[in-house]
Structure 1
Amino acid sequence: MDLLLAQLFGVLRRVWKYRWIGLSLSWLLGVIALVVAFVVPNRYESSARIYVDTQSILKPLMSGMAVQPNVEQQVTMLSRTLITRPNVEKLVRMADLDLKKQTKVQAEAQIEHLMKTLSISTTGRDNLYTLAYNDPNPEVAKRVVQSLVSIFVESSLGATRKDTASATTFINEQIKAYEAKLEEAEQRLKEFRLRNLEMVAGDGKDATSRLAEMNAQLERAKLELREAENARDAARRQLEGERGRGNDLTTASILQESSIAVSTPEIDARLAELRRSLDGLLQRYTEQHPDVASVRRLIKELEEQKRREMAELRKQALNNPVGAANVGNPVQQELSRMLATAEVQVASLKARVGEYQSRYSAAMSAMRTAPQIEAEAAQLNRDYAIHKKNYEDLVARRESAAISGELDVAAGVADFRLIEPPRVSPRPVAPNRFLLLGAGLLVTLVGGVFAAFAASQLRPVFFEPSELRNKTELPILGVVSRLVSDAEIRRLRVDRIRFIGGSIGLFGMFGLAMLALVVLNARQAVV
């Protein structure tokens, strides 16, 4: 510890030896600091405050029909990206900063300076933004802030409208593309259906389901045919029995009437039943349907049979009066009608069974190609459904975008309210001359001490033999004492007084400068 203190005292004694060099440099630095503190021009700040109102009564009303953008996020991003080179170049023209003749280098320097000094700050809530700029000329600062406010509002509106137009253009292009895809899918689906008319069903069932349904219809038709045949056979047996009993009856009056007119009630009943069945079939099928053609063929055959039987009955009525009497038997006529109805039903069911059998056979033969056709149909329907859904969604989004654009025009993206118009502070905001003087005083003191220390290191002086021995690493043989005279003592005392006076003068100079600043500020406040 003693060694450290000794070294410290040694350094201070060497610095003290070169004190005048340090004091001289301090005075030089002090004068320069004072000049700089008073010569630096004042800078005046102009600022404006804008409130962005993102609420609108139309937006809640149009919720679900129009796209609701995040306006607050858009405004925040705009405030962060507003100070860009294109906007600053526009601001230079709007604020008439390009009226002075400038070289290209000076213009670039001016733009860089504006980009660094312009500021847009927010309070973090309530969408309140502060735009500020400082310049030596207060009028220039005010014009710059006014131009910045205009650019801020115009950029927000222009960006939103540009986004809406870009979105609409993109959606229209996508709609055209999907419309072409949809038309192509419809054409492929139409061609596929035309190629496979007999295989493609409109009920949505696959080939296996249709085959099972045809088999069930065929079995049901066979069962109905057997029932109808049994009913027909029973009616025929009853009619034959009734005819056998009627051979023993003789009625001359009926024979006389029969010679005049004969009838075929069995055939007439069958014809009536076939015509009713034909009417029912025509309501469900076309003329080319197999059931319709079969019934028409039966009607034609029965009409021919009726003509032959009527001729035969007239001949029998003349030759066999007893047999003719049976024509007018009501029981026999009823049984004849029943038999005719059963015959018609059997014929119809036979045609139905034949048709179902042919359909079932065709379906069985088509089962080999049905899975491939069904897979192709499923793929075509899926592609068509996807393209149709995308097309309809895009059309709906285009309408939503159009409504959103009209909503933005009607209600505005946001309401920009100028809370505080651009104004210039009456007092300069920079530079802080008190701070400059304090920093100048500190630099002056540090510079003087450093100059004295540097001189002591360049031209070292040793005040103790131990320092010399440690520095040179040579033995010290002896020490010669120096006697100080009274004149020398007086000279040293005067030198100290002069140094103290110079130091006090240096501090006094800075003190007077600060006092002058206080007076100047007080006068500006009064004015």
Structure 2
Amino acid sequence: MQDILDLIRASARGLWNYRWWGFLATLAVGAVGTMVIMAIPNQYEASARVYVDTQSILKPLMTGLAVQPNADQQIAMVSRTLVSRPNVERVVRMADLDLGASSPAERDALVDRLMSSIRFASAGGTNLYTITYRADQPDRARKVVQSFLSIFVESNLGDNRRDNDQARKFIEDQIKAYELRLTESENALKDFKIRNLAAMPALGQDAVGRAGEIGGALSQARMELAQAEQARDELKKQLAIEPQTVATDDRGFAMGAGLATGPSGGTRAVRTEYDDRIDGLRKRIDELKLRYTDQHPDVVSTRRVLEQLEASRETERKAEVARQEAAAKAAPAAGARPPGTAVNPVYQQLRVSLAESEASVASARARVREYESRAASLHASAANAPKVEAEYKALTRDYEITKRSYEQLVSRRESVQLSEQMGAASGIGEFRVVDPPRAGQDPVFPNRAWLLSGLFLLSLAAGVATAFLRDQIRPTHFDLRSLRAATGLPVLGVVSMIVDSRARARARRGLLVFSGSAAAYLLGFGVMLAWAWLHQPIK
């Protein structure tokens, strides 16, 4: 411990012995450092706060990325996107920064410095960022930031308008193309339906199911035809054994009949054999029209039978009129005519029933022929049906896909127009200025208060280091122990130094001069620090 104290004491004496060397070094470092600090040009900062829709700007850049970038990476990407070289070159021209550049190389160097000097940082909010720039003049810094904002706003509006125009043009072209394709699909589907009109009602149904339906209907029609023919044959048998006429009395009335004829041969409530059949067929036609159209085979065949019966009735009426006229001429002028004959009403009723049965047979036979024709047509087209159905499905599918795409494009066009109207009404875009550019009147660099404080400590350290090194180069020993340790020789004795009055006076003057010099140095640094504090507070 004593050795350490002796070492500290010896070092302190050595420093004091070379105090003027240390003071000169302190003064030199302080003076040179002060001149350097005062020569550093002031830097003024201008800043503006903006809103940037990073999702809209970065969406093309982040397409296909599996991992989305974090906030710092997004800021860096936005900075590189907005602070691009073309934009910086425009800023250099707008802010007149290239007036001092006499060559393209100097202009490129100026652009590079400006790109590295612009700071783009997050302002603490969502999509809020701060643009800052430092220059040696406040107006120049503000002009640079304002130029950047102007370029960003103009490019944003221009890009939005250009993007909207391109999107609208693309959608319009697609709509025209799909409209043409839709028209072609409609025409192809229409032509297919016209070519395959007979097969259209059956499309979409199972071929086996259609064959079963037609076979069942054909069997039912054949069974009905057999029943109608059996009923007709039975009526024919009854009609064959029934007499056509019955005897009449002397007054001209049929005996045992419900009909009578007058003496002149005219009929009393006499009807032809076709009247009831015609009435029955007319009722049947009315019933058929309720279920079928006029072109249905049953309706057509029944109407044809009706026309034949009406023609036969007209012929029979004419014949009956002629017969009655001949009988009237041959009859005596007065008195009752002799007993004769009259038409058997039972026979007439059987004839009517037979006519109706014939009509039913004709109708059933027409249905059988129709179903047989359908079955034959289905059998003939069975091999081609899958191809026709596949072609129909393909045409229908193409038409539906084209129609759906066309409707989606029309809806997207409406969405684009609505988005443009909303953007124009609200003014919302990818880039908006929140706080306009503003430059402070106090320089932000250099911070001379901090620099002078550090320089003061550095100068003191330089003085102490200089005195210490000088003492190490030419050491002075003040006791026997340090001398013996330094030389390694035995010390025989010590001679005391006698200080006279002149030496004491000289030592006092030297102490006063050193103290005054040190005080002046401290005072000068204090004044410099006070000036720096007043003009630029320590932040």
Amino acid across the alignment from 2:530: V
What is aligned with 1:65? none
User: Partner of 2:109 in structure 1?
Assistant: 109
Secondary structure at the aligned position of 2:159 is classed as helix
Whole-angstrom distance in 1 between the partners of 2:303 and 2:84 = 91
Matched, 1:161 2:198: no
- The answer to whether the Cα contact below 8 Å between 1:247 and 1:322 also exists between their aligned partners in 2 is no
Residue type at the aligned position of 2:411: A
Distance 1:451 1:231 in 2: 148
Larger of the two Rg values belongs to structure: 2
Question: What is residue 131 of structure 2 aligned with on the other side?
Answer: 131
Letter in 2 for 1:35: M
Q: 1:365 to 1:51 in 2, by over 3 A?
A: closer
- Aligned residue number for residue 472 of structure 1: none
Q: In the TM superposition, what are the counterparts of 1:483-498 in structure 2 within 5 Å? A: none
Are the structure 2 counterparts of residues 435 and 311 from structure 1 closer, same or farther at C-alpha, using a change threshold of 3 Å? Answer: same
1:45 and 1:425 in contact (8 A); partners too: yes
Separation of aligned partners in 2, 1:145 and 1:337: 113
- 1:334–1:26 CA distance, 2 compared to 1 (3 A): farther
1:406 has 2:421 as partner: yes
Change (3 A) 1:372 1:455: farther
1:326 is the counterpart of 2:343: yes
Residue 186 of structure 2 corresponds to which residue in structure 1? 186
Which residue is equivalent to 1:474? none
How do residues 459-478 of structure 1 correspond to structure 2 at under 5 angstroms? none
SS at match of 2:401: helix
Task: Tell me the TM-score normalized by structure 2.
Answer: 0.67
1:306 to 1:209, Cα distance in 2 relative to 1, 3 A? same
- Assess if the C-alpha contact under 8 Å between 1:271 and 1:302 holds in 2: no
Q: Measured at CA, do residues 158 and 435 of structure 1 come closer, stay the same or move farther in structure 2, by a change above 3 Å?
A: same
Contact 1:235 1:335 in 2 (8 A): yes
Seen in structure 2, the aligned counterparts of structure 1 residues 420 and 370 have a Cα distance that, compared at 3 Å, is closer
In the alignment, the residues of structure 2 paired with residue 120 and residue 346 of structure 1 have an alpha-carbon distance, to the nearest angstrom, of: 100
1:154-211 alpha-carbon deviations (Å, 9 max, x no partner): 3443333333223222222332333343344334434443443333337642433332
Deviates more, 1:290-299 or 1:149-158: 290-299
Specify whether residues 480 and 388 from structure 1 end up closer, same or farther in structure 2 by C-alpha distance, changes over 3 A only: same
Deviates more, 1:383-392 or 1:365-374: 365-374
Alignment of 1:111-510 (within 5 A): 111-125=111-125, 128-201=128-201, 204-233=204-233, 243-244=242-243, 247-249=246-248, 251=252, 253=261, 256-257=264-265, 264-266=272-274, 269-270=277-278, 273=281, 277=285, 294-295=301-302, 298=305, 301-302=308-309, 305-306=312-313, 325-326=342-343, 329=345, 333-413=348-428, 420-438=435-453, 440=455
Matched-pair contact (CA < 8 Å) for 2:244–2:343: no
Residues paired across the two proteins, number: 475
Distance in 1 (CA, whole Å) between partners of 2:444 and 2:114 is 17
CA drift of 1:140 comes to 0.9
Amino acid at match of 1:343: E
CA distance in 1, matches of 2:152, 2:116: 17
Shift of 1:359: 0.2
**Can you list the C-alpha shifts for 1:307-329, whole angstroms capped at 9, x where unaligned?**
6656776798879x9996116x3
Rounded Cα–Cα distance in structure 1 between residues aligned with 2:340 and 2:450: 149
| Range 348-357 or range 428-437, more displaced | 428-437
TM-superposed CA distance for 1:49, in Å, is: 3.8
Q: Which residue in 1 is equivalent to 2:68?
A: none
Distance 1:219 1:409, change over 3 A: farther
Q: Which residue of 2 aligns with 1:466?
A: none
Percent identity over the alignment is 38
SS in 2 for 1:198: coil
- Residues 254 and 325, structure 1, Cα contact 8 Å, conserved in 2: no
Q: CA RMSD in A?
A: 5.5
Deviation at 1:412, TM superposition (A): 2.5
Q: What CA deviation, in whole Å up to 9, does each residue of 1:16-60 have, x standing for no partner?
A: 99999999887765544332211111111223345789xxxxxxx
| Structure 1 residue runs without a partner (length 5+) | 54-74, 462-477
Task: Compute the displacement of 1:273 (Å).
Answer: 1.9
- Residue 70 of structure 2 corresponds to which residue in structure 1? none
- Change beyond 3 A, Cα 1:337–1:523: same
Point out where structure 2 has 5 or more consecutive residues left out of the alignment. 54-73, 254-260, 328-337, 476-486, 500-505
Instruction: Tell me: CA distance 1:424–1:78, structure 2 relative to 1, closer, same or farther (3 Å).
Output: same
Is 1:313–1:324's contact at 8 Å kept on the other side of the alignment? no
Cα pair distance change 1:140/1:245, threshold 3 Å = same
Would you say 1:516 and 2:533 are equivalent positions? no
1:27 and 1:506 in contact (8 A); partners too: no
Q: 1:137 to 1:485 in 2, by over 3 A?
A: farther
Task: Tell whether the 8 Å contact from 1:30 to 1:506 is kept in structure 2 after alignment.
Answer: no
Amino acid at match of 1:389: R
The DSSP-based 3-state class of the residue aligned with 1:427 is: coil
Higher helix share: 1
Cα deviation for residue 353 of structure 1 reads: 1.5
Preserved contact between residue 24 and residue 448 of structure 1 (Cα < 8 Å): yes
1:404 Cα deviation from its structure 2 partner: 1.6
8 A Cα contact 1:206 1:374, kept in partner: no
